[in-house]
Structure 1
Amino acid sequence: MPSRRAVVWLAALIVAANGFFPALWILFTSLKTESELMRIPITILPTAPTLDNYVRVFTDQPILLFMWNSFGVATLSTLLCVFVSALAAYALVRLRLPAPGLILSALLAVAMFPLISLMVPLFQTMRTVGLLNTWWALIFPYAVLSMPVCTMVLIAFFQDIPRDLENAAMIDGCSRLGALWHVILPLTAPGVFTAAILAFVNAWDEFLLALTLAPRVSSRTLPVGITLYQGEFAFPWPIISAALIIAIVPISILIAVFQERVVGGLTQGGVKG
């Protein structure tokens, strides 16, 4: 029906505008000067585009250090999260655990905990064990906070793998962990990629824990480092916008490269049969 197709296209345009317009606005702002940004009436497109703001991003603050910290923390926390989530999902699907439904409910409850309620115990724990202002102060919390979602994603995939495949692998000499590594994980690669992307993006974008547990400049991640461009009485929006674009680019490239696997993982994980 034409009317139904029009509604679908309208909904798609609204979703696309909601996703792309803020990013385009930040991009256009990053190419403006301070004077042009304050000009009235406001212009969307820059009249005289400049890359000076991007130069200032790299000269005013050690943004490469912030990006390295974010990349290291996000990568290590993702590896830890996916490893533990795979073990947890396999145990819940294959092993005869007592009250698996209760365990799944506990996982969901952990995922719903407000982050601000965990700040004080996390800070005290990291200070006690001497991990403040280190990568590990962020790696462990990021991995734990992403585990419930990643575990649920992997459970949906593991349930579709016939038991006969891993039984055959164990008959051939594989241990249970060997069957998980050599049989289950390769067959559920889209789910593993989906879980890994979700964990990586959550760690890359997180701000509150990074600000609290790693406030030193040498250990700051990119979201916290961007706040250093703000002065006491000044808020240089063009420079901050340029820094935001630099922060968005790695995630955009990651999603573009693994788009098919992520979309396939999200759709296949929701289909049974």
Structure 2
Amino acid sequence: MSNVTLRGRREASIDVSRQPRTAKKTLLKAGAIAALVIGALYAGLPVLWMLSTSFKQNGEVFALPPKLITSGFSLDAYTAILTDPSRLRFFLNSYIVAIAVTVLTLLVAILAAYGFSRYEFPGKRLINIVIVSVQAVPPITLVIPYFGLMVALGLYNTYPGLILTHMVFTLPYAIIMMTAYFNTLPRELDEAAKVDGANVWTALWRVLVPISVPGIVAVGVYTFMISWNEFLFALTLTRTDSMRTVPIGIQLLMGQHSFEWNQMMAMSILGSIPVLLLFLLFQRSFIGGLTSGAVKD
């Protein structure tokens, strides 16, 4: 009987000691959820306000008190943009430049990353340092040199000029990411392909590239986003509205005496859709590609 009593007391004391731990874990979990909710509201409220403003009349934007849900719901801002050929041209230009930059960047990055990952050659370390160093240079310091270079080459106010300039800033990241991803792939894959009679190109494009789709998707989405949102060089290296991109088109809605706030917000929403759709469609591959090269086995 005494043993049963002692055992009961011991179990009771264990349950009592577990209660503070359970309560602490619950509080920590609740605090983490609260912090995430606050962070989501902090990040999402400007987007919600931008969406709300796009459905308002321009005179309602600064109405007091401010209203997130307007009573004067209107699609005038979207109609003004989608029925204006000059503004639709901004979207076409952005698509042409961003898609070309993404395709060319992936092609060059895959070839360069394969060389860095699989071969040793003189100057490899120096080239890697140069690639990383390019990322550290503030883009604003390169505006004047690139402007003079594009004018001298006859590429000012042209698609090739914008594409080549954007690639200068997308290639370093793409090469670094793809090299890290290829480093996670065993060299036995290359050797097995060569044993079966495949050459270097076949081993790359038919063996490594198909299993590197998550890394390629991650680099492609990031590259598209960088090119699509680029403002500084798109403004400096273009002269006519027929060559302007979406970020410049939004800036052009800022007049000398008045701003078309509702149209600016509508154009911002429309300009955000391509990147958002890309992320939603390739979310799993994008996250997997970003994390796969982070840890080396």
TM-score (norm 2): 0.87
Deviation at 1:35, TM superposition (A): 2.5
Counterpart Cα distance in 2 of 1:11 and 1:90: 42
CA contact (8 A) 2:134 2:172 kept: yes
Match of 1:41 among 48, 65, 77: 65
- Structure 1 residue 222 and structure 2 residue 242: aligned? no
CA shift digits 1:166-195 (9 cap, x unpaired): 112123232212211111111111001100
Show the counterpart of 1:13. 37
- Structure 1 residue 234 and structure 2 residue 272: aligned? no
Counterpart Cα distance in 2 of 1:219 and 1:132: 10
- Structure 1 residue 27 and structure 2 residue 34: aligned? no
Match of 1:68 among 67, 84, 92: 92
- Structure 1 residue 264 and structure 2 residue 288: aligned? yes
Match of 2:117 among 93, 111, 117: 93
Match of 1:57 among 68, 72, 81: 81
Deviation at 1:22, TM superposition (A): 1.5
Counterpart Cα distance in 1 of 2:152 and 2:291: 43
Runs (5+) with no aligned partner, structure 2: 1-24
Alignment of 1:128-139 (within 5 A): 128-139=152-163
Counterpart Cα distance in 1 of 2:98 and 2:38: 31
CA contact (8 A) 2:81 2:88 kept: no
Deviation at 1:99, TM superposition (A): 5.1
CA contact (8 A) 1:61 1:229 kept: no
Deviation at 1:44, TM superposition (A): 1.9
Which SS does the other structure have where 1:62 is aligned?
helix
Runs (5+) with no aligned partner, structure 1: none
Counterpart Cα distance in 2 of 1:226 and 1:211: 11
Which SS does the other structure have where 2:197 is aligned?
coil
Show the counterpart of 1:160. 184
Deviation at 1:6, TM superposition (A): 2.4
Show the counterpart of 1:148. 172
Show the counterpart of 1:170. 194
Deviates more, 1:210-219 or 1:57-66: 57-66
TM-score (norm 1): 0.94
Counterpart Cα distance in 1 of 2:295 and 2:155: 42
Which SS does the other structure have where 2:184 is aligned?
coil
What code does the residue aligned with 1:218 have?
S
Whose Rg is larger? 2
Which SS does the other structure have where 2:256 is aligned?
coil
Deviates more, 1:6-15 or 1:177-186: 6-15
What code does the residue aligned with 1:12 have?
L
What code does the residue aligned with 1:137 have?
G
Counterpart Cα distance in 1 of 2:31 and 2:165: 43
Deviation at 1:60, TM superposition (A): 5.0
Deviation at 1:208, TM superposition (A): 0.5
Show the counterpart of 2:9. none
Deviation at 1:29, TM superposition (A): 0.5
Show the counterpart of 2:14. none
Match of 2:229 among 177, 181, 205: 205
Counterpart Cα distance in 1 of 2:63 and 2:81: 23
Identity of aligned residues (%): 36
Show the counterpart of 1:125. 149
Counterpart Cα distance in 2 of 1:91 and 1:122: 28
